[in-house]
Chain A
Amino acid sequence: MAQEIGRRPYLREVPRVRWFFDHPRYLRYMARELTCLFIGAYTLLLVVGFARLADGRAAYEAFLAALKGPLGVAFHVLALGFAIYHSVTWFNLTPKALPVQVGEDFLPDWVISGAHYAAWLALSAGMLYFAGAF
């Protein structure tokens, strides 16, 4: 008679916090996710700007002057860099979520992500136009 084999499966737990240091692809993923914090922070800054505007001309001008200070400029450069990274990494993923089949074949990935970049450019140009840049 064969001896009964004892089963005692062993589960190796995933570390709750350190897991994303285990592989570069997890770090890239976390970079994509965490850069959204700068987009959120910039949105909050705009809300603060609206509040200063509601407080009157002097408050708003003081707010604008603060933005032109070294801290304000440093934050803008950082936020712009991270916002571009966040947007580019997401736009490059759009072909996965939105495949378009025309006849038998699917449109190439660059068409789908390219459409997003085109919309991004058009909206940015529209914003600049309304802001009086040209």
Chain B
Amino acid sequence: MSERTFELEVLRYNPETDREPHFQIYSVSCEEEWVVLDALNRIKETLDPTLNYRWSCHMAVCGSCGMMINGEPKLACKAFLRELPVRIRVEPLAHFPIERDLVTVIDDFIGKLKRVKPYLIPKAEKALSEGEYLQTPAQLKKIKQYTLCINCMLCYAACPEYGLIPKFIGPAAIALAHRYNQDSRDGGRAERQQEIASSEGVWECSFAGACSEVCPEHVDPAAALQQVKIASTVDWYQEHLMPWLRK
């Protein structure tokens, strides 16, 4: 296996000693088929054990290793070195506060995720003896792509609206709310609408579409948000112009 030297320009920040983040350059020998996460691991193992970053699965499933790689939000485990120049700039995910080095504070996203109730709220609770909540293949297909979200927050780092207006609930959380709203077994839409149809919800979105472009799982949050806008607009018209249509 052939090795090549890469220069990683990594944003460092130590809250105990640094006033602000700064770049540190590491020259590290990497194998051709490695990803950026492998390079970071080699740096940590051989050059600088103080470097901090999150990772877990190394196979684009856990969503922990999101970072800015040459200005693009990517999973470090899915960013192949062979597709990158020899000098690679690695920064923590944009739009999130930096805890330390490449580790960000994600409390804001977790709070928003909780607010949209991203779980099944059954229309009517069934006793266990009545069996499963069944779904047809067509009903599953309607929501399938949104179920692939791994909460990696790349879409938040790409979203210009979230960067400028941090109260925006944002792409992944609204896409997940939409996923459950569209689920044939779910009856929780009215509860979720309180959050996602509010001014902090879909109406902060101006359809830049960056979220869908960077999603490593090929989810299309931008589509979900536009569909929520249309459904919320229909709600408004029904409520104000055709109240007799509302049950």
Contact surface of A with B, Cβ cutoff 8 Å:
5-12, 14, 16, 19-20, 22-23, 25-26, 29, 33, 93, 96-99, 101, 103-106
Contacts and interface: CB of A to CB of B under 8 A. Distances in A.
Contacts of B206: 33
A10 B16 contact: no
Given A5-B16, A9-B97, A96 B220 contact: yes
A10 B137 contact: no
11 contacts: A14-B94, A14-B95, A14-B160, A19-B160, A23-B210, A25-B209, A96-B227, A97-B229, A97-B230, A104-B137, A104-B141
A67 B177 CA distance: 51
A101 B142 contact: yes
B130 interface: no
Contacts of A12: 21, 94, 98
B15 A8 contact: yes
B13 A10 contact: yes
A10 B22 CA distance: 12
Contact of B98 (A9, A14, A97, A105): A9
A99 B142 CA distance: 10
B207 A16 contact: no
A29 B222 contact: no
A14 B160 CA distance: 9
A105 B99 contact: no
Interface string B150-175: 00000000001001100000000000
A6 B16 contact: yes
B232 interface: no
A97 B223 contact: yes
B163 A19 contact: yes
A9 B21 contact: no
A105 B94 CA distance: 36
Contacts of A10: 13, 15, 20-21, 97-98
A5 B52 CA distance: 14
B15 A9 contact: yes
Contacts of A19: 160, 163-164
Interface in B15-30: 15-16, 20-21
Contacts of A16: 164
